[in-house]
Amino acid sequence: MLFLTLISEAIRRGAEFVTLEVRVSNMAAQALYAKYGFTRRGVRPRYYSDNQEDAYIMTSPPLRDPAYRQQLLQLRDQLLARLAAEGIEILEEAA
């Protein structure tokens, strides 16, 4: 929900893309980002100073693309349904 909210805020502010870095070993986060349409665009060698691990650069589709907006709405509905099934209600302002 935090990640989805960040994308929504980027759209609200008129951003064209969202881009991020993620550890090459962080498969869970990469899977989350891929689920939201992000793709690998490059590598930042030794980006993390604690263990010199590389980062993948992952970038969203164009935020203005109507098909991507539709995909985000579907993902949001799925997420809200899953959270509701777990008894977690998200206030509309936060969604």
Ligand X SMILES: CC(C)(COP(=O)(O)OP(=O)(O)OC[C@H]1O[C@@H](n2cnc3c(N)ncnc32)[C@H](O)[C@@H]1OP(=O)(O)O)[C@@H](O)C(=O)NCCC(=O)NCCS
Contact set with ligand X (CB under 6 A): 22, 26-29, 31-32, 35
For the CB of residue 33, give the shortest distance to ligand X in the complex, in Å. Answer: 8
For ligand X, the closer CB: 8 or 26: 26
CA distance 95 to 89: 10
Task: Write the single-letter amino acid at 17.
Answer: F
Give the distance, in angstroms, between the CA of residue 59 and the centroid of all CA atoms in the same chain.
Answer: 9
- Measured from the CB of residue 74, what is the shortest distance to ligand X in angstroms? 12
User: At what angle are helices 2-12 and 66-85 packed, to 10 degrees?
Assistant: 150
9 is catalytic: no
Nearer to ligand X (CB atom), residue 28 or residue 91: 28
